[in-house]
Amino acid sequence: MHIVHPLLCSCIFYTVLIDKNSWKIYNYSIAYKNKRKGENLLEKFLNKMERKFGRYAISGLMKYICVLYIIGLFINIASPQVYYYYLSLNPYRILHGEVWRLVTFLIQSPNSNVIFFIFTLYLYYMLGQTLERVWGAFRFNLYYFAGVLFTIIGSFAAYFMTGQVYLMDTYYINMSLFLAFAFVFPDMEMLLMFLIPIKIKWLAYLDIALFVYEMVVGNIGTKISIAMALLNFVIFFFGFMRKRVSPAQMHRRAAYKKAVKKMPSRHRCAVCGRTEETNPELEFRFCSKCNGNYEYCQDHLFTHTHVQ
């Protein structure tokens, strides 16, 4: 059983996050671009992967995760045993054909109490959405799903080491999200009970202390689950994302992105109106037989009616 996280205990009194430098930080829908000096091999590899597979990233991932948690809450209210018998991350059952458990374990509700669930869900949503705005969808997807993958690996490792099933869920994955948030915004403050301001970094230190305590007193499943969550955090931040982003940098990047969007498109098809922005896979050419500078996409270059 998990010890109730002190941050989640305070969620019932949760009010607002304040950044002393820029309270508008959450309105900047920007990607954490990585044209930085001194990139290491891991950063270069991640940049290459983002350029190649970034289009497949799930935008707004945390919204879908929260929907899964809501489904999990209803299942828990209707029949608490359904998750344990049919949906949990059980390596023994998975090895015997119940492979859907590799995905369905994600729906476990973070809290069975509806009031605490609402505040906890809002907190997770806020953390995830903010990190996605800072890093971009691809890197946030990578961080979250790497945590899921490490949790699955840890579950099977515990099973093969001991022969027993230790049910692991998303508890420590979500705690690693909080650590990531604290690493990016260490000086941001949370108002507890509308009165007590406390910096995120101090809550993160408390989070780490709780991890250490649970590592000491917990069973092998708990130890491995914590180790996998921390491994994901360490690899990602000390390998890929070693530099933090200040609110001033976020503001400059958001302003630049906004300015770029206002620039007119360089290529536009005179027939269908598609541009290199809306359809980057298209090629555009000018027609030498038209009277004037008319440009067409590859689909209409040879089929349009010439302008005389």
Domain boundaries of the chain, sorted by first residue: 6-259, 265-308
Q: What is the pLDDT of residue 145?
A: 93
User: Residues 6 or more apart from 226 whose CB is under 8 A from it?
Assistant: 172, 211, 214, 215, 218
Residues ≥6 apart with Cβ < 8 Å to 158: 91, 164, 166, 168, 220, 221, 224
Res 101: pLDDT:
93
Distance in angstroms (rounded) separating the CA atoms of residues 226 and 155: 11
pLDDT score at 120: 86
Using an 8 Å Cβ cutoff, are 295 and 270 in contact? Answer: yes
Residue 291's pLDDT is what?
82
pTM tops 0.85, yes or no:
no
> CA nearest 200: which of 18, 3, 2, 11?
18
Provide the residue-wise pLDDT of the chain in tens; the chain has 308 residues.
454 454 444 443 444 444 443 333 333 333 334 344 445 566 777 778 888 888 888 988 999 999 999 999 999 888 888 998 999 999 999 999 999 999 999 998 888 888 888 888 888 898 888 888 888 888 899 999 999 999 999 999 999 999 899 989 888 898 889 898 888 888 887 766 667 788 888 888 888 888 889 888 988 988 999 999 888 888 887 766 555 555 555 555 555 556 555 555 678 888 888 888 778 878 888 888 888 788 888 878 877 778 87
Q: Which residues contact 274 (CB under 8 A, 6 or more apart)?
A: 268, 282, 297
Residue 257 confidence (pLDDT): 58
